[in-house]
Amino acid sequence: MKTRIAPTPSGYLHAGNGAAFVLAWRLAREAGGKVLLRIDDLDAERMRPEYVEDIFASLRWLGVDWDEGPRDPVDLQRRWSQHLRMADHAAMVRQLREGGHLYACTCSRKEVAARTGTGLYDGHCSGRGLPMDLPGRAWRLRMPRDGHAEWRTWPDGAVRQFRLHLPDPVVRQRDGRPAYQIASLCDDVRFGISLVVRGEDLLPSTGIQQHVAALLGIGSFRQALFLHHPLVLDEQGRKRSKSQGAASLRALRLQGGDPAGIHQLARALLERALAPG
């Protein structure tokens, strides 16, 4: 077994992040498997040095170790940044384009929200036949309209089917950078990840990435196991977001808090994920 911990340095990590990382780490260690630390740092506009530092400090505080990946912020920039693998990401996008699976889109998030009221893309540009190579155009992937997705689930490896709303995702951004769905899939394939642990909010991402893997014949990702755990919610019942304040792991560390509470939360996430129904 090989799993990964994949934080994004766009804010200070919170308890939900910490519990998810502990859960992935525990599953790998209990199975005698390996852990990769993959820091998803493609979004340079939101990345801050203090957020990168927080990732390493939080993992050390939690007692989470890893077998592969950067040892510190300097090592991240020198050897492990996603920016160093962008040629591989771009090659995957080219394969999708050559297969006729992509189309150009000029819609902004504001325009999509104004049309739909939800922010979920409505396929507005899918039939317009816009030229792909003009500046300022994103590339989107055509998704099946039936919303059907399937993948192998942890722990038994059984193939389970899901009905999901899967709007056509952006796979190349307006500035030419690969989008999250491509970078994440490409890196999981590159590093041989066989268990993906992620939140229930990323069920659509798994469906999209499984579709890309099927289109490109990436059998290793199709054989990987997936565990989607419940989210850790805030006091108002909303999904936690990365925090500058008292809800962050950083604040808990500075207050001399005990990481045992995060480990207990990880066990609770696993129990809830495996509960019937």
- Total length of the chain: 277
Report the distance separating Cα 23 and Cα 178, nearest Å.
28
The region of weakest confidence among 1-15, 193-207, 210-224, 239-253 is 239-253
What is the DSSP track for the chain?
Answer: -EEEE----SSB-BHHHHHHHHHHHHHHHHTT-EEEE------TTT--HHHHHHHHHHHHHHT---SBS-SSHHHIIIII-GGGGHHHHHHHHHHHHHTT-EEEE---HHHHHHHHSS-----TTTTS---SSSTT-EEEEPPPTT-EEEEEETTT--EEEEE------EEE-TTSPBPHHHHHHHHHHHTT--EEEEEGGGHHHHHHHHHHHHHHT-HHHHH-EEEEEPPPB-TTSPBP--BSSTTBHHHHHHTT--THHHHHHHHHHHHHHHS--
224, two tokens: 């990987």
Q: Check: CB of residue 143 under 8 Å from CB of residue 103.
A: no
pLDDT at 64: 98
Q: What is the mean pLDDT of residues 103-112?
A: 95
CA angle 145, 150, 152 (to 5 degrees): 165
pLDDT at 256: 93
**210-260: pLDDT as tens digits:** 999 999 999 999 999 999 999 987 666 666 666 556 589 999 999 999 999
Residues 6+ apart with CB under 8 A from 138: 104, 105, 106, 107, 170, 172, 173, 174
pTM: 0.93
pLDDT at 244: 53
For β-strands 170-172 and 138-141, DSSP reports them as antiparallel
pLDDT at 243: 56
- Mean pLDDT of all residues belonging to the chain: 94
Residues 6+ apart with CB under 8 A from 277: none
| Domains of the chain, start order | 2-99+181-274 (3.40.50.620)
Q: Check: CB of residue 107 under 8 Å from CB of residue 121.
A: yes
Residues of the chain with pLDDT > 90: what percent? 88
The region of weakest confidence among 21-25, 110-114, 189-193 is 110-114
For β-strands 148-153 and 159-163, DSSP reports them as antiparallel
* Confidence category of residue 83, pLDDT binned at 50, 70, 90: very high
**24-66: pLDDT as tens digits:** 999 999 999 999 999 999 988 889 999 999 999 999 999 999 9
The amino acid present at 87, given as its one-letter code, is A
Q: What is the mean pLDDT of residues 160-189?
A: 96
* Confidence category of residue 194, pLDDT binned at 50, 70, 90: very high
Report the distance separating Cα 203 and Cα 210, nearest Å.
11
pLDDT at 57: 97
For residue 37, the number of C-alpha atoms closer than 13 Å in the C-beta half-sphere is 22
Residues 6+ apart with CB under 8 A from 224: 151, 152, 188, 193, 194, 195, 196
